[in-house]
Amino acid sequence: MAYDYHRSGSLAEAFALAARDDSALIAGGTDLLVALRKKKRAAPARLVSIRSLPELTAIEAGPGLLRIGACAPLTEILAQPVVRERLPALAQALAVIGSRQIRNVATLGGNLCNASPGADSAPPLLVYDATVELAGTGGRRELPLSEFFLGPGRTALRPGEIMTAVCVPLPVPSAQSVFQRRSRVAMDLATASLAVNYELQGGVLKSVRLAAGAVAPTPLRLRAAESWLEGRAVNEETLAKAVELARGEIKPIDDLRGSAWYRSELIGVFLSRAFRNRKEGDA
């Protein structure tokens, strides 16, 4: 498993090296180094480290938008008051990724680019309508996160492209959001997860966003259930129909973390709880 290790000195240099067949990018390395060690992935001739590039680690809060550098460590993101106050579902998700040691080095871009179906940062970012910035020698583009995941371990990144940032529009103050997940023990990957974001206006739901993790080949928006809930009042019948639609949209599998049946049950429970436990006085 011998490879050369190069700490990239600039983004331009990283773009040039990322395009080479003999090189692979490394950010926090908490997934990649384990995969190389377990030989789940062949070692490249060279690892190109991008974790210390200031352009990739900055976190900037602008009016109505939070721009998170793709290589910002999870601990740094969690330390932002704007994340805890305005993006609670994201804060809840990042806080349960790995251990403190892992969160001190693991990056948001790494969690997304790994494209695990259960990536915990994905459902909250999907319900906040986040976009990702992708760049390379060929230029820069922006993509809704919902179009970024193509399958387990597969993304819309083109060869040589690097995710440079994640842009999260800040929800209006009256919006409510929550992230729920179930795992067997602390530090385990999610068996299933669900993020929800919505507003209640005059007793009816508005701007409903639902996104699930670990129940399909990719993290995914539950658009049929969202459309059903839009404009409706929260009651048991409305929720029952939403749960039925959500269960029709997911494609859970049986594995060591849980059965497809259990995962489907979890999604139903998470969905119902997210709307039943809404804050007092909002109905």
Please tell me what DSSP assigns to residue 162: E
* CA 87 – CA 197 distance, rounded (Å): 10
Q: Is 201 in the site for another protein (CB under 8 A)?
A: no
Binding to another protein (CB under 8 A) within 139-158 occurs at: none
> Can you tell me which of 100, 237, 280, 281 binds another protein, judged by CB under 8 A?
100
Phi then psi for residue 226, to 5 deg, are -60, -50
Measure Cα distances from 83 to 89, 114, 192 in Å: 9, 23, 23
Q: Is 49 in the site for another protein (CB under 8 A)?
A: yes
Q: How far is the CB of 4 from another protein (least distance, A)?
A: 5
Q: Is 101 in the site for another protein (CB under 8 A)?
A: yes
> Can you tell me which of 37, 140, 184, 276 binds another protein, judged by CB under 8 A?
37
Q: How far is the CB of 1 from another protein (least distance, A)?
A: 7
Place of tokens 């809060």: 61
Phi then psi for residue 278, to 5 deg, are -70, 160
* CA 249 – CA 165 distance, rounded (Å): 29
Q: Is 42 in the site for another protein (CB under 8 A)?
A: no
Q: Is 22 in the site for another protein (CB under 8 A)?
A: no
Q: Is 12 in the site for another protein (CB under 8 A)?
A: no
Taking alpha carbons only, the member of 156, 151, 97 closest to residue 124 is 97
> Can you tell me which of 9, 12, 60, 99 binds another protein, judged by CB under 8 A?
99
Q: List Cβ neighbours of 58 (8 Å cut-off, separation of 6 or more).
A: 67, 69, 72
Is the CB of residue 26 less than 8 Å from the CB of residue 47? yes
Q: Is 86 in the site for another protein (CB under 8 A)?
A: no
Which among 60-68, 94-102, 128-136, 260-268 is the span making contact with another protein, rule CB under 8 A? Answer: 94-102
> Can you tell me which of 2, 42, 256, 283 binds another protein, judged by CB under 8 A?
2
Closer of 39 and 279 to another protein (Cβ):
39
Is the CB of residue 234 less than 8 Å from the CB of residue 205? yes
Q: What's the half-sphere exposure (Cβ side, CA atoms, 13 Å) at 229?
A: 31
> Can you tell me which of 8, 23, 30, 107 binds another protein, judged by CB under 8 A?
30
Is the CB of residue 220 less than 8 Å from the CB of residue 150? no
Q: Is 29 in the site for another protein (CB under 8 A)?
A: yes
Chain residues in the site for another protein (CB under 8 A): 1-5, 7, 26, 29-30, 33-34, 37-38, 47, 49, 51-52, 75, 98-102, 104-105, 186-187
